[in-house]
Chains A and B, each alone.
Chain A
Amino acid sequence: MKQVTAAVVRLLVTFLIVSAVVFVNRSQGGDEASAETVRCDLDPPGDVAGLETCLARSPRDVEILLELSAAYEAAGRHAEARVALTRAAAIDPRDAGVRQRLAR
Chain B
Amino acid sequence: MRFLALSVARVVNAAFFVASSVYCLLSYSSFAYAQFIKPQLVGWIPDAAALHHQVFWLTVLITAPTLVPVLVRGSRGPRIAAAAYLAGNVMLGSWLTVNPVLTLAGPNTRTLVIAALCLVPPFLLAVVDHICAPRPVVRPVELSRLFLGAAAAAVATWLTYTLLIPWYLPRTVGLDLTWTAMTLAVGVSLVSHLLVFAVIYLVAAAVIAVAGLARRPLVEYWAVSALCAAVLGFIFERVVAVALSFQARESWLLSVWLSAVIAAIWSGLAWQRRASGVHEDDDAIDVWFGPITGPAAVTVIGLITLPLVALGLRTAVAQFDWNFLLQKLGVCLVWALALGWGCRATRRAARSRAAGDRLAVAMVLVGLAGVPVATRVATWSGDARLAPEFVLDRYAALDGSYQLLRGLLRTNAGADAEFYRFLKAHSTLGFVSASPVDVDFVDGFHATTARPHIFLFIVDSLRRDYLSPYNPAVTFTPATQAFAAESVVFDRAFTRYGATGLSVPSLWTGGMLLHKQYVQPFAPMQSLEKLLDGGGYRRLMSDDHLVTQLFRPSPATTLLDLQIDEMDHTMCGTVNELQSALTATRGDTRPIFAMTRPLQLHTARLVRDPETPASAYPGFAPGYAKQVAALDRCLGGFIGYLKQSGLYDQSVVILTSDHGESLGENGRWGHAYTLYPEVVQIPLIIHLPTTLAAAVTTDRSSIALSTDITPTLYALAGEQPRDLGVLYGRPLFTPIDQPIRSRRRESFLLSSSYGPVHAMLRHNGRSLYIADAVQGLDLAYEMQADGRMARLTMTDVIRTVNRRLMRDHIGQIASAYHFTPAP
Q: Which of B424-465 contact A (CB under 8 A)?
A: none
Please report the C-alpha to C-alpha distance between residue A67 and residue B364 in the assembled complex, in whole angstroms: 53
Q: Hey, which chain B residues are within 8 Å of A17, CB to CB?
A: 199, 202, 361, 364
Q: Which of A1-53 contact B (CB under 8 A)?
A: 3-4, 6-7, 10-11, 13-14, 17-18, 20-22, 24-33, 37-38, 41-42
Q: Hey, which chain B residues are within 8 Å of A97, CB to CB?
A: 699, 701-702, 742, 744
Please report the C-alpha to C-alpha distance between residue A34 and residue B744 in the assembled complex, in whole angstroms: 23
A25 in contact with B210 (CB, 8 Å): no
- B302-330: contact bitstring with A at CB < 8 Å (1 yes, 0 no)? 00000000000000000000000000000
Q: Hey, which chain B residues are within 8 Å of A33, CB to CB?
A: 795-797, 799-801
Please report the C-alpha to C-alpha distance between residue A60 and residue B700 in the assembled complex, in whole angstroms: 22
CB of A95 closer than 8 Å to a CB of B? yes
Q: Which of A6, A28, A66 interacts with B209 by CB under 8 Å?
A: A6
B801 in contact with A42 (CB, 8 Å): yes
Given contacts A4-B213, A97-B699, are A63 and B763 in contact (CB under 8 A)? yes
CB of B413 closer than 8 Å to a CB of A? yes
Q: Hey, which chain A residues are within 8 Å of B801, CB to CB?
A: 33, 38, 41-42
Please report the C-alpha to C-alpha distance between residue A91 and residue B728 in the assembled complex, in whole angstroms: 29
Q: Hey, which chain B residues are within 8 Å of A28, CB to CB?
A: 412-416
CB of A84 closer than 8 Å to a CB of B? no
**Total number of B residues with any Cβ neighbor in A under 8 Å:** 52
CB of A75 closer than 8 Å to a CB of B? no
Q: Hey, which chain B residues are within 8 Å of A3, CB to CB?
A: 212-213
- B687-714: contact bitstring with A at CB < 8 Å (1 yes, 0 no)? 0000000000001111000000000000
Closest beta carbon of chain A to B662's beta carbon, Å: 23
CB of B720 closer than 8 Å to a CB of A? no
Closest beta carbon of chain B to A42's beta carbon, Å: 6
Q: Hey, which chain B residues are within 8 Å of A74, CB to CB?
A: none
Closest beta carbon of chain A to B269's beta carbon, Å: 29
**Total number of A residues with any Cβ neighbor in B under 8 Å:** 42
B796 in contact with A22 (CB, 8 Å): no
CB of B783 closer than 8 Å to a CB of A? yes
Q: Hey, which chain B residues are within 8 Å of A29, CB to CB?
A: 412, 414-416, 419, 799, 803
A66 in contact with B212 (CB, 8 Å): no
CB of A80 closer than 8 Å to a CB of B? no
Given contacts A21-B364, A97-B742, are A7 and B766 in contact (CB under 8 A)? no
Please report the C-alpha to C-alpha distance between residue A4 and residue B700 in the assembled complex, in whole angstroms: 75
Given contacts A7-B213, A29-B415, are A24 and B371 in contact (CB under 8 A)? yes
Given contacts A21-B409, A38-B804, A96-B701, are A31 and B796 in contact (CB under 8 A)? yes
Please report the C-alpha to C-alpha distance between residue A60 and residue B537 in the assembled complex, in whole angstroms: 47
A7 in contact with B701 (CB, 8 Å): no
Q: Hey, which chain A residues are within 8 Å of B764, CB to CB?
A: 62-63, 92, 95
B763 in contact with A61 (CB, 8 Å): yes
Q: Which of A7, A20, A24, A92 interacts with B785 by CB under 8 Å?
A: A92
B701 in contact with A60 (CB, 8 Å): no
B416 to chain A: closest residue by CB: A29
Q: Hey, which chain A residues are within 8 Å of B507, CB to CB?
A: none
Q: Hey, which chain B residues are within 8 Å of A93, CB to CB?
A: 785
Q: Hey, which chain B residues are within 8 Å of A60, CB to CB?
A: 782
Please report the C-alpha to C-alpha distance between residue A21 and residue B196 in the assembled complex, in whole angstroms: 9
A31 to chain B: closest residue by CB: B796
CB of A90 closer than 8 Å to a CB of B? yes
Closest beta carbon of chain B to A30's beta carbon, Å: 5
B206 to chain A: closest residue by CB: A14
CB of A94 closer than 8 Å to a CB of B? yes
- B96-140: contact bitstring with A at CB < 8 Å (1 yes, 0 no)? 000000000000000000000000000000000000000000000
Q: Hey, which chain A residues are within 8 Å of B199, CB to CB?
A: 17-18, 21
A28 to chain B: closest residue by CB: B414
Please report the C-alpha to C-alpha distance between residue A33 and residue B415 in the assembled complex, in whole angstroms: 13
Q: Which of A11, A21, A31 interacts with B367 by CB under 8 Å?
A: A21
CB of B298 closer than 8 Å to a CB of A? no
B409 in contact with A25 (CB, 8 Å): yes
Q: Which of A20, A27, A37, A94 interacts with B797 by CB under 8 Å?
A: A37
Give the most central of B361, B368, B414, B797: most A CB within 10 Å: B797
Given contacts A18-B203, A37-B797, A90-B785, are A25 and B213 in contact (CB under 8 A)? no
Given contacts A11-B210, A33-B797, A41-B797, are A94 and B203 in contact (CB under 8 A)? no
B419 in contact with A26 (CB, 8 Å): no
Closest beta carbon of chain A to B424's beta carbon, Å: 15
Closest beta carbon of chain B to A104's beta carbon, Å: 15
B740 to chain A: closest residue by CB: A97
Closest beta carbon of chain A to B487's beta carbon, Å: 16
- B330-374: contact bitstring with A at CB < 8 Å (1 yes, 0 no)? 000000000000000000000000000000010010011001100
Q: Hey, which chain A residues are within 8 Å of B776, CB to CB?
A: 27
Q: Which of B630-665 contact A (CB under 8 A)?
A: none
Closest beta carbon of chain A to B216's beta carbon, Å: 14
Please report the C-alpha to C-alpha distance between residue A96 and residue B703 in the assembled complex, in whole angstroms: 11
Q: Which of B372, B411, B800 interacts with A27 by CB under 8 Å?
A: B411
Q: Hey, which chain A residues are within 8 Å of B413, CB to CB?
A: 26-28
Q: Hey, which chain B residues are within 8 Å of A91, CB to CB?
A: 785
A26 in contact with B411 (CB, 8 Å): yes
- B191-231: contact bitstring with A at CB < 8 Å (1 yes, 0 no)? 00001000100110110011011000000000000000000
A25 in contact with B766 (CB, 8 Å): no
Please report the C-alpha to C-alpha distance between residue A11 and residue B412 in the assembled complex, in whole angstroms: 25
Please report the C-alpha to C-alpha distance between residue A96 and residue B787 in the assembled complex, in whole angstroms: 13
Please report the C-alpha to C-alpha distance between residue A60 and residue B783 in the assembled complex, in whole angstroms: 11
B785 to chain A: closest residue by CB: A93
B413 to chain A: closest residue by CB: A26
- B742-756: contact bitstring with A at CB < 8 Å (1 yes, 0 no)? 101100000000000
Please report the C-alpha to C-alpha distance between residue A63 and residue B746 in the assembled complex, in whole angstroms: 11
Please report the C-alpha to C-alpha distance between residue A87 and residue B368 in the assembled complex, in whole angstroms: 44
B206 in contact with A30 (CB, 8 Å): no
Q: Hey, which chain B residues are within 8 Å of A90, CB to CB?
A: 785
CB of B777 closer than 8 Å to a CB of A? yes
CB of B410 closer than 8 Å to a CB of A? yes
- A55-80: contact bitstring with B at CB < 8 Å (1 yes, 0 no)? 00110111100100000000000000
Q: Hey, which chain A residues are within 8 Å of B411, CB to CB?
A: 22, 25-27
A14 in contact with B202 (CB, 8 Å): yes
CB of B283 closer than 8 Å to a CB of A? no
Please report the C-alpha to C-alpha distance between residue A24 and residue B803 in the assembled complex, in whole angstroms: 24
B408 to chain A: closest residue by CB: A25
Q: Hey, which chain B residues are within 8 Å of A37, CB to CB?
A: 797
Closest beta carbon of chain A to B109's beta carbon, Å: 33
Q: Hey, which chain B residues are within 8 Å of A61, CB to CB?
A: 763
Please report the C-alpha to C-alpha distance between residue A7 and residue B210 in the assembled complex, in whole angstroms: 5
Closest beta carbon of chain B to A90's beta carbon, Å: 7
Closest beta carbon of chain A to B718's beta carbon, Å: 27
**Additional A-B contact list (10), CB under 8 Å, known A10-B205, A21-B367, A95-B764:** A14-B205, A14-B206, A21-B364, A26-B412, A27-B416, A27-B777, A28-B413, A29-B419, A38-B797, A92-B783
- Interface residues of A, Cβ cutoff 8 Å to B: 3-4, 6-7, 10-11, 13-14, 17-18, 20-22, 24-33, 37-38, 41-42, 57-58, 60-63, 66, 90-97
- Leading 4 A-B pairs by shortest Cβ distance: A29-B415, A28-B414, A29-B416, A96-B701
15 contacts between A and B (CB under 8 A): A3-B212, A14-B206, A17-B364, A18-B202, A18-B203, A21-B195, A21-B199, A21-B364, A25-B371, A26-B411, A33-B796, A42-B804, A60-B782, A66-B744, A94-B785
- Interface residues of B, Cβ cutoff 8 Å to A: 195, 199, 202-203, 205-206, 209-210, 212-213, 361, 364, 367-368, 371-372, 409-416, 419, 491, 699-702, 742, 744-745, 763-764, 766, 776-777, 782-783, 785, 787, 794-797, 799-801, 803-805
